Structure 1
Amino acid sequence: MNSNSTGAVPQGAQDVLTRYWDTLCTWRDDVWLGWHEGLDRYVASLEAFVGAPPGSIVTDANLSTLLTRIASCFDYRAPRNRVLTTHLEFPTVPFIWNAFRRYGAVVDVVGSGGPRFDEDALADRIDERTLLVCVPHASFSSGATLDLPRLVARAHEAGALVVVDAYQSIGVVPFDVTALGVDFVLGGAHKWLCGIGTAFLYARPDLLPDLEPAATGWQAGDRALSFQPSTGWADGAQRFAGGTPFPLTALVSQVGLDLLAGIGIDTIRAHSLACTDRILARADAAGIRVVSQVEPDRRGGVVGLDVPDGEAVKRRLAARNLICSWRGYLRIGPHVYNTLDEIDEFMDALEEELQENRR
């Protein structure tokens, strides 16, 4: 029940690992031809999965690396030098933006005093000084989701660009980058996408010609694979690439992405809602406080529960091979491979642990 932290990796990944090991045993330079084809296929599969045009996604090791490349594209001189984010972001995001204070960035963190977004406060803080609005689609701690269409419309009205951290939603919630009109989207494989160790960046295609990241690497150049000095930037989102890629994580992650694409995001979403409905019903019957949004159209894949001594409860559940996570709230994240019977087994155990706590 922990796909919001680390999703299950399909058994088919073992074949990829075996082939990779065989390749390392008989190393030749030409293996890179196949590896680059694998990297390109993974990018194309991601683009299809999130409704992105060809050439608008690039991959790298993690979200931090890619967000830093976005940040390095901009001039932070006043008056338009404000970066707006929220206290419900994963800590890496404000940490990176705070590092850009040395270049003039003014970081504005909007709090709500609770586990849900204060969407009115976010919208009200956007003005002519706002350069970037950097927000999660779903909170890592509580699973609360954000009304992206409203925020994107308000940001664009003020001339600001929107960076969305969708690590906690893509793979379990339908997400179409083109329909949403977002400017940048960040996500990754090792949670809901059932992969390992790779992240991705979508950049709106019409923005790309004007974006020149200062944090870069040789794979971002227009002549990278010719091994000649580049004279300009690579086409499309490839200009956000870094140095020599590590192909294994994309090759392994392809297996999970193919499985999810074959099931279909609408089917995944319907099953996710059924699972979280069951958690919500069981929590209500047991008197457990829910901190996530419960409305189906505003609910991510996670249910956050406020329970006494939650971190210890999480450890005791893990000892029973019932896996969730703790980030200030007990986070339960079932995915398409979980069953309603497993939900009941988990909630039965949780109720037992809470009753034991009361004794």
Structure 2
Amino acid sequence: MTFDAHTIAKDFPILDRTIRDGKRLVYLDSGATSQKPNVVIDAESDFYRLHNAAVHRGAHQLAEEATDAYEGARTIVANFLNAHVDEVVFTKSATESLNLVSYAMGNAAPGNRFHLKAGDSIVITEMEHHANLIPWQQLAARTGATLKWFSVTEEGRLDLSNIDSVIDSSTKVVALTHQSNVLGTINPLDVITRRAHEVGAVVVLDACQSVPHMPVDVKALDIDFLAFSGHKAVGPTGIGIFWGRLELLADLPPFLTGGSMIENVTMESASWAQAPKKFEAGVPNMAQAVGLGAALNYLTQIGMDNIHRHEVELTSYLLNGLSEIKDLRIIGPKTTELRGGAISFTLGDIHPHDLGQYLDSQGIAVRTGHHCAWPLTRKLGVPATTRASVYLYNTTDDLDALVEGVQGAQKYFGR
């Protein structure tokens, strides 16, 4: 289909509203959460209106309809990732997904392939969101494993010059982001996964900033586990995805226990159901899963290649526009090579929070702060930045408004 961001934007009702004394909303914060199209809002609402019942639990018609809708959404996710349907686990967020895999590894008994101990190592990177940093810190602390990491260069790329010593025979897990939420950097997974698998380590991918923006094929990427969040992919809040290779999920202990995830229970013991049920204790976020299915169908209809191409064009346009502003420093890659549409920057001595508030007064929504990546911002010497992040519904008009807003802020603050 022909890609037209102006037409696509009409599918998102919130983009029709005005803010701040009638100003047009310019939404450039999709890296934090995306807006929702009517088809997603309707899908979630219709579930509650017409089909609401606990899935997997009843013989009545509503329960059957709810189960069909819920499991249908799982099939949609599997097709979207090129995965087996039983490899898709619904969680409430990507943060829960990453905690699931790290905590489950901590539950692994001696002899289990995921059991970690003193002498083992876990490898991460300096550009990780806290959600893919703290769970591994905690796992290392609980098991006695050593936490190691790849550093970030001044250009915002991973320094892989020492890959053979960082990922070595002690490495059991390599966990990293596909695309940085601060820098926009897209990491070279092929080099990292190849080395990880050479030493028998599993690769855990934080794909929150990539799945909504580009084609992601879990088989082609040759990874072992993946997490992403629905709310960044034009889907509802309260729904996340944990994906893992089926043979690995069979060996991974459960994270939460309770109803729905058991095979058999006595007063003394219990045995677990097969994946994905093993990891879905309790009544799940059913309407949100259905909404996510509608969201991924919507993105598929537009075409992930088309979305990625559009974002590359917008990123190039914005990089060029921002680079012409005096005293503005872009944090991260300055070109679109292996780069996504999250652009962080500083503006002289104007604090990012002050800049963000000024832009908000002009109807422009951006993100300010450390973006849940304190080690990265400290490494780069910028405790806080302003971040603009683009998506399929953004246009060059939005980016022109941002550039004009930044220039207006300079005049407003007398810089």
* Correspondence for 1:279: 318
| CA apart distance, 1:116 | 3.6
1:69 aligns with 2:100: yes
The superposition leaves residues 107-152 of structure 1 with CA deviations (integer Å, 9 ceiling, x where unpaired) of: 2244336544323345531111111011111122222221111100
CA contact (8 A) 2:39 2:294 kept: yes
1:2 aligns with 2:29: yes
Mapped partners of 1:223, 1:38: distance in 2: 26
1:323 aligns with 2:365: yes
* Correspondence for 2:89: 58
Structure 1 residues 274 and 249: CA distance shift in structure 2, 3 A: same
* Correspondence for 1:163: 204
* Correspondence for 2:247: 206
1:299 aligns with 2:345: no
CA contact (8 A) 2:151 2:159 kept: yes
The number of equivalent residue pairs is 354
Structure 1 residues 172 and 136: CA distance shift in structure 2, 3 A: same
In terms of mean alpha carbon deviation, does 312-321 or 152-161 score higher? 312-321
CA contact (8 A) 1:69 1:216 kept: no
Unaligned residue ranges in structure 1 (runs of 5+) = none
Equivalent residue letter for 2:355 = V
Structure 1 residues 89 and 32: CA distance shift in structure 2, 3 A: farther
CA contact (8 A) 2:92 2:239 kept: yes
Structure 1 residues 244 and 21: CA distance shift in structure 2, 3 A: closer
Mapped partners of 1:339, 1:286: distance in 2: 20
| CA apart distance, 1:53 | 2.5
Structure 1 residues 168 and 123: CA distance shift in structure 2, 3 A: farther
Matches within 5 A, 1:14-33: 14-22=41-49, 30=60, 31-33=62-64
Equivalent residue letter for 1:353 = A
* Correspondence for 2:390: 334
Matches within 5 A, 1:347-358: 347-358=403-414
Secondary structure of 2:278's counterpart equals helix
Mapped partners of 2:145, 2:204: distance in 1: 15
* Correspondence for 2:300: 261
CA contact (8 A) 1:55 1:237 kept: yes
Mapped partners of 2:200, 2:312: distance in 1: 36
Equivalent residue letter for 1:293 = P
Among candidates 135, 140, 144, match of residue 176 of structure 2: 135
Structure 1 residues 123 and 8: CA distance shift in structure 2, 3 A: farther
* Correspondence for 1:43: 74
Structure 1 residues 141 and 133: CA distance shift in structure 2, 3 A: same
Structure 1 residues 235 and 45: CA distance shift in structure 2, 3 A: same
In terms of mean alpha carbon deviation, does 135-144 or 91-100 score higher? 91-100
CA contact (8 A) 2:208 2:229 kept: yes
Unaligned residue ranges in structure 2 (runs of 5+) = 1-27, 106-113, 372-383
Mapped partners of 2:163, 2:48: distance in 1: 49
Mapped partners of 1:320, 1:38: distance in 2: 42
Structure 1 residues 167 and 18: CA distance shift in structure 2, 3 A: closer
TM-score, with length taken from structure 2 = 0.78
| CA apart distance, 1:350 | 1.8
Q: CA RMSD in A?
A: 2.7
| CA apart distance, 1:222 | 4.1
TM-score, with length taken from structure 1 = 0.89
The percent of aligned pairs where both chains have the same amino acid is: 24
